[in-house]
A and B are shown apart, each in its own frame.
Chain A
Amino acid sequence: MRVALFVTCLADAMFPDVGRATVAVLERLGVEVVFPPGQTCCGQMHVNTGYQRQAAKLVRNHVDVFEPYDYVVAPSGSCVGSVRHQHAMVARNAGDAGLADRAQSVATRTYELSEFLIDVLGVEDVGAAYPHRVTYHPTCHSLRMLRVGDKPLRLLRHVRGLDLVELPDADQCCGFGGTFAVKNADTSTAMLADKMRSVLSTRAEAVCAGDSSCLMHIGGGLSRLRTGVRPIHLAEILASTGSAG
């Protein structure tokens, strides 16, 4: 099986380990991974900040790049959410009905990593080992836009050595919300403070999520407070096979 990796602009530029881990997990399961080099950004930040017109060219680029593939996989619930729930709308609002149809077609073939592993490959045990105490934060877009449900948890429960501790008030937003974190920094920080309190109460060594963006936010707060709790992407845990990490 051949899969196009949509690494996302954030992982590409800031968290390349997440991309490498996604490749490692998929290849371990016998999937052929290709990286279409024309890819850039899904445009979600533009759409969500009110720049739909500007986002239209990003949608066009995304559709052009990923249209040839039967499967597109991304290590981000949020970016997949944008592809599925925003791309066709942005194209329609830009007056390009043809692009909207093509975007819809790409969207139906685009999967968030845990969805792809469980729904397409039918795998829950990816052969990972990660002997650490970990708590899982279900990011809002994975939870409520994609409805991934407990798929990430099912994957984590099969990771050898992993001590999975439940996060209190797990479904509460961490306060990231893209430019919300800057435009409403005080409210965002108050939400982050409560999320960090929940994370710290679990006494986990690491907080795991399926989105680099939310992890950058939670991790940024945990780092500022010098808590020693590290953020880790779901893909990185699933790629891990030993005690390193």
Chain B
Amino acid sequence: MSARDDILARIHAANTGIAAPPVPRDYRRTGTHAPGDAELLELFTDRLVDYKATVVPCTPATLAATLADICRDWTVVVPAGSASSVPGAVVDDGLSYAQLDALDAVLTGCAAACAETGTIALDAGPDQGRRAVTLIPDRHICVVRADQVVHTVPELLARLDPTRPLTFISGPSATSDIELHRVEGVHGPRTLIVVLVTLSGGLRRRA
């Protein structure tokens, strides 16, 4: 008997006479705020700042200038399908890991974001690129559109396609392994800058 058949037979025997009750879903599945709502963006910003990310608000009209200003001293890589860019940016056309390691920052969009937890989800879409690009450079500048921000974790997962490679990011890399004290910045990007694009503006920059 193969290991597979053996294990499945054991499970089958162990489960004889076992029935599971239905799963109660009384937890919150949708938030109290619609995606992109002003209060939701405040919450999202609070959560990001709490985990030591920097939040820079802007409007579609000021986006390009805002990004150029943030990145002015850095060499930046952008995914091949990126909607945003900055002057002098390198486009990822299959750079080696060593080449990515030599760059200062990566600029991407995102697939969706969750306010309650301050989480940004990347799905390797055209404006986010392959996972290595958002991992190796030391700084990550991520453009989030207001309408991409949902309130709760269930709403976030509902927006994502699980068959794509996904990365959920909540603040910069961190560890709590030394005396349970949180230290930001270990192996992943040590700096996370979220550029939050709203139609009306009105948010303030926070770090």
Q: Is there any pair of Cβ atoms, one from A and one from B, under 8 angstroms apart in the complex?
A: no
Interface residues of B (CB under 8 A from A): none
